[in-house]
Amino acid sequence: MKTSFFAFSLLAVSAVAMPAQADKLDDIIASGTLRCAVVLDFPPMGSRDENNNPIGFDVDYCNDLAAALGVKAEIVETTFPERIPSLMSGRVDVAVASTSDTLERAKTVGFTIPYYSFENAVVANEKVEMATWEDMKGKVVGATAGTYEAIWLEGKVKEWGVGEFRPYQTQADVFLALSQGQLDATVATVEVSEANVKSGNFPGIKIVDKAPMVPDYVALITLREEYGLINYMNLFINQQVRTGRYAELYKKWVGDGEPASLIVEGVYR
């Protein structure tokens, strides 16, 4: 407590004393560390290996970004509902956390161009009779609080007027509840659903159908006013695709096949 109060006053003094306009990009390079928020219950994008070290597409992506900046990467685990608050509270510099670029969020944080694009699947408990996504009507469904899928799904449940929607705090809890049969179905990204079905960690779940949502473009996020950093990251994402690193990471974490396209047809940017 004492030291933090001391730090407070020191910070306050330095804020007054230094009018220099160092932005976040300068701060990161000067501090020598890039702190990335990554969600680690979201395989293959983020998870932990048997030594509980963070691994996954997003983890590698953060490491690449840090390498490009010439700094050390520090992975800070967050949950989906916590990733924007942890950015706002200055606990992390950027979030490499599969964040869908919604307009609601853009009121609070700044988005780069998309660095990945998901399609969403409907995953159900095996004991539940389901053939298409519309069979979710009237069932108990759930997703991780505040995510793109959750907002869509809750909207659908409200539109149908029957059934129940449950927002769990973590992606892991959603699949645990689904596997236990507490949820009949959920909507999750195809990559994550396939990884979870394949891992065998969640017995009794199956992929039913694609969810009829527009492709879920996800972007890197940082504070809204950090244009310097956003510009840098835009170029970085472009370079990742150009140099073939994007395809390489796709192959490493998601599998063979064409990496998800990052182009939105028919629009300028």
Residue 33 within binding range of other proteins, rule CB under 8 A: no
Task: List binders of other proteins among 223-242 (CB under 8 A).
Answer: none
Q: 159-197 b/e with 16+ CB inside 10 Å = b?
A: eeeebebbbbebbbbbbbbbbeeebbbbbbbbbbbbbbb
Query: Least distance to other proteins from the beta carbon of 239, Å?
Result: 30
Query: Least distance to other proteins from the beta carbon of 62, Å?
Result: 16
- Work out which of 167, 217, 232, 246 binds other proteins, going by CB under 8 A: 167
Cα separation, 83 vs 43, whole angstroms: 17
Query: Least distance to other proteins from the beta carbon of 158, Å?
Result: 13
Cα separation, 179 vs 53, whole angstroms: 25
Residue 63 within binding range of other proteins, rule CB under 8 A: no
Query: Least distance to other proteins from the beta carbon of 96, Å?
Result: 16
Written as six digits, the tokens of 117 are 């694009």
Residue 108 within binding range of other proteins, rule CB under 8 A: yes
Q: Which of 180, 148, 144 is nearest to 165 (CA)?
A: 144
DSSP track, 109-178? EEEEEEEEEE-EEEEEETTS--SSGGGGTTSEEEEETTSHHHHHHHHHHHHH--SEEEEESSHHHHHHHH
- Work out which of 59, 86, 121, 232 binds other proteins, going by CB under 8 A: 86
- With contacts defined by CB under 8 A, name the span among 57-65, 86-94, 185-193, 238-246 that binds other proteins: 86-94
Residue 145 within binding range of other proteins, rule CB under 8 A: yes
Residue 202 within binding range of other proteins, rule CB under 8 A: yes
Cα separation, 40 vs 242, whole angstroms: 27
**In the complex, which residues of this chain contact other proteins (CB under 8 A)?**
1, 4, 7-8, 11, 40-41, 47-48, 50-52, 76-78, 80-82, 84-86, 88-91, 104-105, 107-109, 142, 145-146, 150-151, 164, 166-170, 172-173, 176-177, 179-182, 201-202
